[in-house]
Amino acid sequence: MVNRSILLLVASALLAASPDMASAAVSSSDICSSAAFQALSGTRLGDSPIFMRALVQGDEVCIEYQLEASVASSATWFGVGPSRDSNMVSSPASNVMMFFKDTGKPVSYLLGGYVSSDVTEESVQSSFVVSEASASSMSFSYQRTLAAATSSEVAISATAATDFIWAYGTSWPISTHKSGTNGAATFNIAAAAAASGSGAGASTTVGSSTSTPWCDDKNCPGIVGGIAFAIMAVCGLLLTSALKFSPVGKLLLHRTVAAPPVKLTTNAPVAKPHTMFMQTLADLHLGELLVMLIFIGAVVVLIALLSDEDNYVVSGQVSLLILMFLILPVARLPVWSVLFGSSFERIIKFHRWLGIIMTVAVIVHVVQASKVVDLTLNEKYGEVTPLPGFIAFVCFIAMLFLSIEYIRRMFFEVFYFTHRVLSIVGF
């Protein structure tokens, strides 16, 4: 008798501590089988290919999801569920209903993170009752409580709009969503029921990968870098051939940004910073400055194209663009003499400058990325695996340190050997 009293007290305490939790589990799917539910028409969920209908009776709701026929023929799975904030991952982690064509039944999955190993089937599948499911039409209906029955469930409103997230695909597991295959939308059960079958105003799009940035599925650093190099090549050919002896050609090919700092010249192993800066300007032709401006323009264009992306994506893509041009000056190809009338000895300075700039960009990228993912993660995060990128970062930092002019001059053999090895590992 005492033990029973203790159990009752514990149960009462748990219910009092969790007022938002459903007080009882769903035992049937009678709402789904009712004539009132069967008479409802499906409403498109935002701009997704998923149609939804729902009916509330008491403190429970029956929901049906159906994938559009044109998509259902190729899709092997789809998932839908209420969301706390229209994001796939929330805190605490929430669940969605996943439907796989090969099994033909819906299963509750927990969205614990953005990598495939964090999306797992829930161990307890008792918070809902499945009514019907069809693998051929990729549809299912189930009954649950309006309130959250577990800590991973999200409450559904009977009268106001509720956020939902959705996704579908042709293979499972996935490392990232293709454009147009995931998004978020709101759904108002009461508005859908009152719309007399039209569903007007019942669901609105919150976010969708159908409106993803232009660069999302393209190699924008390669595209922008290729166009920039083509412009450089055309300008180089014009200056070294058609305009070589013209006033413009003479100005760009032979005039330097500054006069040589003769009075500041020194035989010291390392010159003073001011002297080094003036020597750099004296060694920079106006034509080379034009090439630099084209490169800066390419960086600005790339950043503009990535304006809708996260900061860590922008810094990572900019690093890749810089890396493309970083390799070109040390390629030892005759392209430089053909296109620009220049030599390897003159071009190498761009390699040093780009190396410093890229290291700064990579440091910014690593700092930003560390806020959203474990840098040592050895599995897919979106379209990349963080660990190889972190190893490349360590290589670039080591190369920059050994490239410091004093260290390079004093220990040139060490610099040369490590540069060759670390460049292979880093790239």
In the predicted structure, residue 5 carries a pLDDT above the cut 80? no
Lowest mean pLDDT among 136-145, 197-206, 254-263, 332-341: 197-206
Return the top range by mean pLDDT from 35-44, 179-188, 330-339: 35-44
How many angstroms from the chain centroid is the CA of residue 130? 35
Which amino acid is present at 162? T
- The confidence score (pLDDT) of residue 259 equals 73
Q: Tokens 């006069």 — which residue?
A: 259
The average confidence (pLDDT) of the chain is 83
Q: Tokens 């540069």 — which residue?
A: 419
Report pLDDT digits (tens) over 212-253: 567 877 899 999 999 999 999 898 888 887 777 777 767 776
Of 101, 108, 42, nearest to 72 (Cα)? 101
CB 418 within 8 A of CB 409: no
Q: What is the mean pLDDT of residues 198-223?
A: 69
Of 174, 215, 182, nearest to 379 (Cα)? 174
- The confidence score (pLDDT) of residue 359 equals 92
CATH number of 18-212: 2.60.40
Q: Tokens 């360590």 — which residue?
A: 394
The domain ranges of the chain are 18-212, 215-372
pTM (2 d.p.): 0.64
Of 418, 319, 305, nearest to 363 (Cα)? 319
Q: What is the mean pLDDT of residues 360-371?
A: 93
Of 156, 131, 336, 340, nearest to 237 (Cα)? 340
- The confidence score (pLDDT) of residue 134 equals 95
Q: Tokens 């900061």 — which residue?
A: 311
Return the top range by mean pLDDT from 133-142, 187-196, 377-386, 398-407: 133-142
198 vs 310 pLDDT, higher one? 310
- The confidence score (pLDDT) of residue 11 equals 43
Report pLDDT digits (tens) over 160-188: 999 999 999 988 887 677 777 888 999 99
330 vs 148 pLDDT, higher one? 148
In the predicted structure, residue 197 carries a pLDDT above the cut 70? no
Q: Following CA atoms 195, 196, 199, 202 in sequence, which dihedral angle do they give, to the nearest 10 degrees? A: 30
10 vs 181 pLDDT, higher one? 181
312 vs 248 pLDDT, higher one? 312
Burial label for 317, CB within 10 Å (0-12, 13-18, 19+), is buried
Q: Tokens 């203790």 — which residue?
A: 6
Residue 281's H or E segment, with its range, is helix 273-282
- Going from the C-alpha of 295 to that of each of 35, 80, 237, 351, 392, the distances in angstroms are 67, 45, 17, 13, 23
Q: How confident is the model at residue 8 (pLDDT cuts 50, 70, 90)?
A: very low
Residues 6 or more apart whose CB falls under 8 angstroms from that of 221 comprise: 302, 317, 318, 320, 321, 324
Helices (H), 21-111: 35-38, 69-72
Residue 97's H or E segment, with its range, is strand 95-100
Give residue 104's region: left, alpha or beta (phi > 0; psi -120 to 50). Answer: left
Return the top range by mean pLDDT from 142-151, 205-214, 262-271: 142-151
- Going from the C-alpha of 255 to that of each of 15, 224, 284, 285, 340, the distances in angstroms are 82, 29, 9, 6, 15
For the chain, give the percent of residues with pLDDT over 90.
Answer: 42
Give residue 251's region: left, alpha or beta (phi > 0; psi -120 to 50). Answer: alpha
In the predicted structure, residue 264 carries a pLDDT above the cut 70? no
